[in-house]
Amino acid sequence: MVEGTSLSDDQVKPNIVARYVGDETITATIAVAPGLNGPWSYTTGIPNSNLDIVAPPPQYLAVAGWAA
């Protein structure tokens, strides 16, 4: 059995925005539009072989949502 949801064409504001803020870091903000909830911002780090990762890589944030 399969069910689904469809995106309305009139949704003009994003729910989540992620921005590049440097060679090692990205910020993502949830619930960027005015409303009852949020916003919540998270910093994630881009792995590399030479430097400490400054924050959890993005995949870890996705798994954190899974765990919650």
Partner 1 sequence: MVTLVGVAYRGNIALNDITAEFKVEPIPDKSGMGFGVREVVTLIGDLTESERVRLERASNFCPVGQAMSKGSMQIKDEVRWSSKETKSASHVPDDLPNLDASIPTIPFGTVSGMYLIETKEHDETGGMIHEGESKVTIRFENLTRKSCSIVLGGHSTAGLVPGPFPLAYSGWASSTVATLSRLLPFGGNGADGLKVELFMAGIPGGSAEAQANASEGVVGYRDVKRRITVPGTPSDIPLKAVQAALLRDPMSITYQNGGVLLSHDVVIG
How far is 62 from 68, CA to CA, in rounded Å?
10
The torsion defined by the Cα of 42, 48, 50 and 56, in degrees rounded to 10, comes to 30
Q: Please, which of residues 39-68 interact with partner 1 by CB under 8 A?
A: 40, 42, 44, 46-49, 51-53, 55-68
Q: Binding to partner 1 by residue 4, rule CB under 8 A?
A: yes
Q: Say which amino acid occupies 7.
A: L
Q: Binding to partner 1 by residue 19, rule CB under 8 A?
A: yes
Binding site for partner 1 (CB under 8 A): 1-8, 11, 13-20, 23, 26, 28-31, 36-38, 40, 42, 44, 46-49, 51-53, 55-68
